[in-house]
Structures are given as C-alpha cells and as structure tokens.
Chains A and B, each alone.
Chain A
Amino acid sequence: MSSDTCGERLKRFFRGLLLAALWTVFGAGTAWAESIVIKGSTTVLPIAQVTLEAYMKANSGAKISLSGGGSGDGLKALIDGSTDIANSSRQITQTESELAGKKGVRPVETAVAIDAIVPVVNPKNRVNDLTVDQLSQIYQGKIGNWKELGGDDLKIVAISRDSSSGTFEAWSDMVLNRAKVSPRAQMQASSGAIVQAVSKNRYAIGYIGLGYVDRTVKAMAVNGVQASAKTALSREYPISRFLYMYTNGEPKGETAKYIRFVLSPAGQKLVAQEGFVPLAGRKP
C-alpha cells in the first residue's frame, strides 16, 4: 500500500473510535458476566455447538456465542480481535500468523478432535475401495468413468467443495498433493449439500468429514482401510486431520475453562457422538 500519511492518520482515528465503541459495549458486559465469542470452521461447528450447550448447562453464568463462516473467517476474526476462539480445520497459514504478529495477536493452537475425510458414493455404486492415487486421478479429471475402477459404465461426476473451505484444503493436501482439481468438477458449498447430491446420484463421488456420513451414502475404503474412529486415531486411515481451536495467547479465564471442558472425557464423548474422532489419551 502507499504511504499516504493522511489516510493512515484517518485509519488510526477510526480504529481508535472503533476500540472506544467496543470498549463501551463489551467492557460494560464483562463486569457481570464473562462472555466468549467463538467463530470459524463449519467442520468444527457441531463440536463447538454440543460442547458449549453442555458447558452452559453446567455453568449457568456462562455466555457463549457461536457462529460458523469458515476457518479463514474465524482466524481473521481472531486476528482483528472480534472473537475469543477461532475454530479451524487447518493450521494457521504463514500469511495469517504474520498478519497476527503485526497486530500483536499471538495465535495459540489447541487440537480438539480428529476429523477423517471420507470419499462417499451413491449406495448403488458397486465400487467399494479406491486408492489415494485413484481418488487424485478422479478429481483431476484423468479417470472419467466408473468402468475404469471396476464399476458400471457410467461417467464419474466428481463433486468438490468450494476451493476455500477447510475440507477442500485438507482434501487437496492429503489426496491431490496440491494438484489442480479439474474445472469440470462440481462445487458444493457445504458437506450437507454433498451428501444430498451424492445420495441422489449414482454417477457422483464426493468427500465429507466422517461426522457427516449417514446411511444415504456409501463411505469408500481408502487404500483398503475403512474410515472409522479407530482407524483415524491409529492413523491407518490415510485421509485424516486434526481440528483446532485457536486463542490469542494461552487460553485464560472462562475461555480456558471452556476449552478444558472440550478436552475433558465428557467433552470428548460429545465429540465422538458428533461423528468425529476423540483425542483419547492426548494431553491438552
């Protein structure tokens, strides 16, 4: 950006104004109840949802507000100070942590669960097992027919997530090795939409978090390993990742208490109920 001093001064002025406004709004609130704002990854959303419900039931004074938006959004909010916890389905990027440093924010990550990403197809599809390499070829558009994989003579409709979702990022890293997804691949904006599309379409293949797999779709085995809590935890299942909650500095006060609850056996039991893999035996 240019070194427009007038613009800079104006910016500083508005930032000061904003801070003052925030101070009056939130500063007044903290006097009688500490509230936590949580924002970020839609993959982590169900975990945050069930754990904060249980937490608020146990601690009637606690006030927690939760919203989704995506990992990038959550981290963005953490960096500009508008959230206490940023949920993320990926680790913070170099660019983001540099930006945080510039604003005096020190993001600290806490792993809260493991997510396994599962390729899913229509239950009518006869193919049960694919290798990571085959999945990669399918999404790059190099394998175009189920026949080539031992299935029926049907075109493959690969359904991907929007290129900025955390699930896409994980898929892109773990399956495609950052190779480009074919532009002919479809794009859906949520895991629910992928389940919906795949359950009604025997040409289709999609990928979702283990927590979203239901009976309307068939989960594929990858490299001969069926995704499950057990195989993800042992890392036998190849497409799995950690899910994080980021805080500014080590979590303190109410925030620390909440995160401790998420990591407690009771919290991790809720994580498992949501279809994610609990971090059994890992120290927070």
Chain B
Amino acid sequence: MTSRVREIIIRNAFAVFAFLSVLLLGMIVFFLFREGLPLFGQISPVRFLFGMSWYPTYSPPEYGIWPLIVGSLIVTVLASLIAVPFGLLSAVYIAEIAPAGIREILKSIIELLAGLPSVVLGFFGMVILAPWMQETFDLPTGLNIVNASLMLAIMAIPTISSISEDALYAVSRDFKEASYALGATKFETVARVVIPAAFSGISTAVILGMSRAIGETMVVLMVAGGAAAIPQGLFDSVRPMPASIAAEMGEAPFGSGHYHALFATGIVLFFITLAFNLVADYLSNRFKEEGSGTL
C-alpha cells in the first residue's frame, strides 16, 4: 500500500466519522421536530407558548407552557446571578492570585464539583437544604425557586470557573507586564487589563454556564417544587420545562397530543439553548483580542 493510498483512506475515515456525528445530531433534531410539530395542528404556537394553563391529561386538554417557560427562565437567571460572581472570582483567584500549591488543590476541587452527578445535588437540595430553608425562614415549602437556583448555581460554577480561567490564562504576558511597567497595582492590572482582555472567553463561559442551568433536568425535577403556575415570589414553587418533560414523558400515551406537546416543549428548549450558543459565539467574536494592537 502506497503512502498515498493510506493517506486517502485515513482522510476519508476521518470524514466519515465527522459526518456521522453531525448526521446523528441532525437526526436527533429531525426527530425532535417530527414529534413536536404535529401539536401545532391542534393548537396555535401562540396559544402553546403563551397559554397560562398546562393541563395535558384532561379533556379537553390545555397545552399552555408560559408558566413553564417563566419557571425555566427565572431559575436560570437567578442561578446565573449567584454563579457568575463565584465562578468568575474563583477563576481570577486561581489564574492570577493563588500560589501554585493552592491553585492545584482548588482546580481539582472545582473539577470534582463539575463531576458531581446532578441527582446527588438534587438529593442534597431535597433532603437537606429544603427542610433547613423551610424551618429557618418559616416558609410554606423549601422546594422553591431559591433552592433550585442555588443547586443550579453549584452546577454552573465549575463550568464558568474553568472556562474563564482558561481565558484568563490565555491573556498575553505582554499585557500584564506593560500594565505593571506603567505602575499599575495588581488589582488594577487584573480589573482593567486582564479581565477586559479575556472578556470574550469569560462571556462564553457565562453563557455556557447558563445553558447548563436551563437544560438541567434532575435538579429542577427534585427541588423546584413543580407548580405549573407563574410564581408570585422567589420562595414559590415552579416547574421548569425539563422537569415537566422528564416527569410526564414516561406515561404520556405514544402519539397523543400530550406526547407531541412534550416534544414541542423540547423544541422550545432547543431554541433557547441555540440562542444562548449564538450569543456566546457572537460575543466571543465581537470582543476577540487579536493582539496587543487592539487593546
């Protein structure tokens, strides 16, 4: 076999695998739409998206997922508000401040956190945090938005921290040295030079952390309480979209309106995460530092 033939074989093998994985993804998306779109033969997309009542098993059924969308968004936003400062500041500490020994320990702890199965977090939220929260603040229920957001934040912190940290590391040494040479303190250098230079990577980290939170199923199924109503306060229960899909799919009769409605909910989630990824992509291109010249 000549090296030329081998080259062709290898190249094609890689191409086959690349296309195969794209094809598989494409088929999943195709399947999602094929199972979800028939719903819109029964009700209009507007009534589906903005309908206030989710009663899929009654007759006549009602498939309004607005309370579910609100539930998903509110826990995601609150989780991000908690996770972004923690994730970002821990990344700054690890990348810029911590001595080598502590850095290694912290990095491995955060990696461990990333590997924590979500069901373990959900269980913690349900069995320990919920009763504690309820007793301490005398709430009607500990399974609420705050609990779910805290657990989601714990899931998002490692994502945000490790990607931000990579972005901070990638900032050229020249920038920092130039800043010190101008007499800037360490704080000024980190806050005004390193973080702005790593902005594109950091924003990607934040968005990826948020997509992790919005798509997370087990945690919200276990600790968000599951009330399919618009919450009136932060200590109310909500039912984010993934929780509804997970809880109901097992027993939704195959091919029924309920079944299609759950897939359609999946389509909504798909578009939300797609939007997140597009925003991340845009930000990372928009604020890319091409070299010392752009600063």
Contact = CB atoms under 8 A, between A and B. Distances in A.
Interface of A: 69-73, 76, 93, 95-96, 154-155, 157, 162-166, 168-169, 172, 178, 180, 182-189, 193, 196-197, 200-201, 203-204
A165 B131 contact: no
A1 to B, nearest CB: 9
Nearest to B59: A178
Interface string B171-208: 00000000000000000000000000000000000000
A76 B251 CA distance: 9
Interface in B130-144: 130-131, 134, 140-143
Interface string B142-186: 110000000000000000000000000000000000000000000
A253 B131 CA distance: 51
15 contacts: A69-B250, A70-B250, A70-B251, A72-B252, A72-B253, A76-B253, A163-B55, A164-B252, A166-B251, A186-B226, A187-B228, A189-B221, A196-B126, A201-B140, A203-B140
B227 A184 contact: yes
A201 B134 contact: yes
A279 to B, nearest CB: 25
B20 to A, nearest CB: 19
A73 B131 CA distance: 33
Interface string B227-267: 11100000001010001001110111110101000000000
A93 B258 CA distance: 15
B189 to A, nearest CB: 49
A94 to B, nearest CB: 11
Contact of A183 (B67, B252, B254): B67
A8 B208 CA distance: 41
A161 B56 CA distance: 14
Given A162-B248, A164-B251, A196-B126, A186 B227 contact: yes
Given A180-B58, A200-B134, 16 more contacts: A72-B253, A73-B251, A76-B253, A93-B253, A96-B253, A162-B251, A164-B252, A169-B57, A180-B55, A184-B237, A185-B227, A187-B225, A187-B226, A187-B228, A189-B247, A201-B141
B141 A203 contact: yes
Contacts of A178: 58
A69 B258 CA distance: 17
Do most interface residues of chain A lie in helix, strand or loop, or is the interface mixed? Answer: mixed
B141 A157 contact: yes
B216 to A, nearest CB: 15
B165 to A, nearest CB: 36
Do most interface residues of chain B lie in helix, strand or loop, or is the interface mixed? Answer: loop
A3 B127 CA distance: 53
A36 to B, nearest CB: 21
A184 B236 CA distance: 9
B126 A164 contact: no
Q: Say which size band chain B's interface belongs to.
A: 35 or more
Contact of A193 (B126, B131, B248, B252): B126
A162 B247 contact: yes
A204 B134 CA distance: 12
A186 B225 contact: yes
B252 A187 contact: no
A183 B58 contact: no
Contacts of B246: 189
Contact of B227 (A70, A155, A166, A187): A187
Contact of A157 (B140, B228, B248): B140
A168 B57 CA distance: 10
A233 to B, nearest CB: 27
B53 interface: yes
B31 to A, nearest CB: 14
A21 to B, nearest CB: 19
Interface string B24-51: 0000000000000000000000000000
Contacts of A182: 229
B229 A184 contact: yes
A71 B251 contact: yes
Contacts of B258: 164
Contacts of B134: 200-201
Contact of A95 (B56, B222, B229, B256): B256
Nearest to B141: A157
A200 B222 CA distance: 15
A154 B141 CA distance: 11
A180 B62 CA distance: 11
A76 B252 CA distance: 10
A200 B223 CA distance: 13
A197 B125 CA distance: 11
A4 to B, nearest CB: 13
B124 interface: no
B287 interface: no
Nearest to B62: A180
Contacts of A155: 140
B276 interface: no
Nearest to A162: B247
Contacts of B86: none
A193 B250 contact: no
A-B pairs, 6 with minimum CB distance: A187-B226, A164-B251, A72-B251, A162-B247, A183-B229, A70-B251
